[in-house]
Amino acid sequence: MAKVISKKADSNSRAYKRGLIISGQKPKKPKSNIDPKQDLLILVDESDVELGFKSKSECHQGDGTLHRAFSVFIFNPSGELLIQRRSRDKALWDLHWSNSCCSHPHKNEQMELAVKRRLKEELGIECPIHYLYKFVYHAKYKDVGSEHELCHVYVGLFEGKIKANPEEIDDWKFIKPVDLEERIKNSQKDYTPWMKMEWEMLKTTYKKAIEDRISVKL
């Protein structure tokens, strides 16, 4: 289960009981470019101020170290959401269903460039993306490790062929929102904690924003 970080919310959204809504404003872009040889993640405080860098594995050990991340929800023109089942090789929440794509920007990497990079690496797609909000969550996975992230949430619209990377994704499908609701309700443990938190926000607080930006009704 996700851990409550705070119940404080910004003026544009209501408090979400399992996470801290930070902002509905678009994040500032770092100035530098990524060094592809580095796998250092960006450590932040709960206001998204950079504090330093740490390896991906170290960030997820024990109770986890708060770091910057992103989560993307890709819809098709029919209003179906692309979901994926995480690879069995994932250290945390392996073989769990999750949203379209989620990962981290590396040291000195711009957030939107990181999102587009991972969409290409995981799903083989390119499409416009739209920032919605960011929030903090903490979730522990068995005795293996934890996710402790300040996560930037995006949506996008894609029409075309998915080329899923088998090293990252065990399975994928497009699903109607009403069917996803039923599946989550009946099989809570099959879905990642961050996806469930984000989906709740998308279908309530950010429902109108999604309709305005990608013409999809939830």
Domain containing residue 65: CATH number = 3.90.79.10
pLDDT value of position 71? 98
53-108 per-position pLDDT tens digit: 999 999 999 999 999 999 999 999 999 999 999 999 999 999 999 999 999 999 99
Q: Which residue has the higher pLDDT, 3 or 82?
A: 82
Mean pLDDT of 205-209: 97
The verdict on whether 101 is a catalytic residue reads no
- Catalytic-labelled residue, pool 59, 149, 151, 198: 149
Domain that holds residue 104: 35-214
Question: What is d(CA 126, CA 110) in angstroms, rounded to the nearest whole number?
Answer: 17
- pTM here is 0.85
Q: What angle do CA 211, 214, 218 make, to 5 degrees?
A: 40
In-domain check, residue 18: no
* Length, in residues, of the chain: 218
* Residue with more model confidence, 212 or 12: 212
Side-chain-side CA neighbours of 214 within 13 Å: the count stands at 28
pLDDT one-digit tens code per residue, 72-86: 999 999 999 999 999
pLDDT top residue among 25 and 144: 144
44 falls within a domain: yes
- What is the average pLDDT value for the chain, to the nearest integer? 87
How much is the pLDDT for 39? 83
Q: Name the domain count of the chain.
A: 1
Check 102, 147, 151, 198 and give the catalytic one. Answer: 102
In the residue annotation, 149 being an active-site residue is answered as yes
- 13 is a domain residue: no
